[in-house]
Amino acid sequence: ITSEAFPHQLQLAGVDYDLSYHFEPGSARDGVTLTLPLAQLNQIPAARCEWLVPGLLKEKVMQLVKTLPQRIRAKLVPVPAFASEFVDQVPAVDKPLVTALANFILQSRGLNARGWELTPDAFRPDAVPAHLSFNFRLIDENGRQLAVSRKLSDLRSEWGREAKQEFAELYATPLEHSGMTDWSFGELTELVEVDAGGGQTMLGYPGLTDDGDSVSVRVFDSPEEALQAHAAGLLRLFMLHFREQVKYLEKNLPGLTQMAMQFMSLGTLDELRRQLLELTFARACLTEPWPTDAASFKARCLEARPRVGLLAQEICQLVGKILGDWLALHKKLPAFKAYGSSVHDIEGQLARLVGKHFVVDTPFERLQHYPRYLKAIAVRLDKLKAGGAHGATRDAHLLAEYLPLWTNYQRRATLLAKQGVSDPRLEQFRWLLEELRVHLFAQA
């Protein structure tokens, strides 16, 4: 046993975390415990924590390999030798251990050249003994224990809000501004250093927040949260700058009354109008790169001004088309009650596409395809009607082909949501599934 294999501290994202070890198989304390201050709960890189410490990594890799299908395991014998090979060649990084392991298996055994596939989902980490995961001991600023868990995601679900408050209290500098209606706060940097105590620093992520009639600058404990808040805050700042244009469009959005009637089962006229305005100014102002100082903000305003009116017309035309087609489909569905599973599937698809906040929640590059998606549903219904029993059987077979893919997507999306992780590739896959629906149900 060496301090290199079983260190007493582990540095993650520039912060040293205390480690302690306990050997008592079957005990809740068995394995390695990482002491985690509350303010750093949302900062610690979850993926890197999966790699544990060098002295336990080989055993964990062996246990993970045992959870793979026999066809793959047969390529990795003897497993201890393979695990040593992986540990020696692959350094611990801030990405999931199973992802690195899957890639290494495919490359080192030449399986990718033979067309084999191995995804991280093939592993079953829950089947690995508990002592091969960090035991996270959460403490407050006075060192008192708040909670203990093997699952960082559980701690973040229960204590994440308190952690954000604790982090915010650590950072009290002139950067914190509030009540602003114009860019009056200097340059907004991507990163700032936050004093974590004991001579250590953490990284903070500045961003604007939307306060309704003003904006504030805050420092967040994660880049994802900062980006999400900053997008809303920056949009609000642009709309405050263009307040006269906002007032004009509030009264003159083309087709708003008719759209509001179609939207009635989802929300109010005011809610729809707010979404249309936000999307208009987001399209006009939030092109990358985003402004980082007063000069670039002013320049963006000058660029955006002549585009606002035309964009509002284009967006209202698109959303009006979507709502009209969506409502027409809903009116058609009662006549198709005999096709139970197909109608149930279509109802679910319509609900996912067009929800209360679909105008602002849907990426615009996908929103542009909504008329085609809705047209494909109409074609599917026409085929059901014209095909009789044969059409119903064909649709059922196609649905059986599609549903496992959708179920896998939902399972993965639910898992990542629990972990507080976003994956752009999964979002891309979700829209590929929408394209697959068009191909399966609406192609000639």
Total count of residues recorded for the chain: 444
pLDDT tens-digit readout, 197-209: 777 778 889 999 9
pLDDT tens-digit readout, 281-322: 999 999 999 999 999 999 999 999 999 999 999 999 999 999
Beta strands in 141-214 (DSSP E): 145-149, 192-197, 200-210
Q: How far apart are the first and last CA of the chain?
A: 67
pLDDT tens-digit readout, 110-152: 888 788 989 898 999 999 999 999 999 999 988 999 999 999 9
Higher local confidence (pLDDT), 335 or 170: 335
Residues 377, 352 contacting (CB under 8 angstroms) = no
Residues 25, 70 contacting (CB under 8 angstroms) = no
pLDDT-based confidence at residue 162 (cuts at 50, 70, 90): very high
pLDDT tens-digit readout, 13-68: 888 999 999 999 989 899 999 999 999 999 899 999 999 999 999 999 999 999 99
pLDDT tens-digit readout, 73-95: 999 999 999 999 999 999 999 99
